[in-house]
Amino acid sequence: MIVRAEGWLTSVDLNVRYPRSRTVAAAPAHHLDLPGDSLWPPLTWAQREALRISAEHQEVRRRDLMARCGISREVARRALASLVQHGLLRRVGRGRGARYVSPASPGTEPR
């Protein structure tokens, strides 16, 4: 149990940092190969990780993102859906078995 003399405990009291709130705006755009970085919305840490996983393994699945980032299924789903909406990834398949690939990946037509 943690007890504090007055008020609520905060992340500052526990020296906790939340890296997921960082955006790509602080990082150089060349790491993600995004053309015209001013045209793209800032990406979350989870979205950047999804793009990294996709680049390393030619695909990313929701469970991969959940494991690497320590996030919930819903947060991973939203991060991947946003990348699809912005055209940075393409969804192949349906349901929990869906995978996300680069839009230019050959041989990844939906089944």
The pLDDT tens digits for 84-105 are 998 899 999 988 789 999 887 6
Quick one: average pLDDT of 17-46?
Answer: 56
Band of residue 18 on the pLDDT scale cut at 50, 70, 90: low
Quick one: average pLDDT of 69-86?
Answer: 92
Band of residue 107 on the pLDDT scale cut at 50, 70, 90: low
* 4 pLDDT higher than 50: yes
- For 43-93, CATH gives 1.10.10
Quick one: average pLDDT of 33-56?
Answer: 76
Identify the three-state secondary structure at position 54: helix
Q: Are 21 and 45 in contact (CB under 8 A)?
A: yes
Domain ranges of the chain: 43-93
Neighbours of 97 (CB within 10 A): 10
Nearest to 104 by CA among 36, 18, 35, 4: 35
* pLDDT given at position 111: 46
CA distances (Å), origin 41, targets 28, 29, 102: 14, 11, 18
For the entire predicted model, the pTM comes to: 0.60
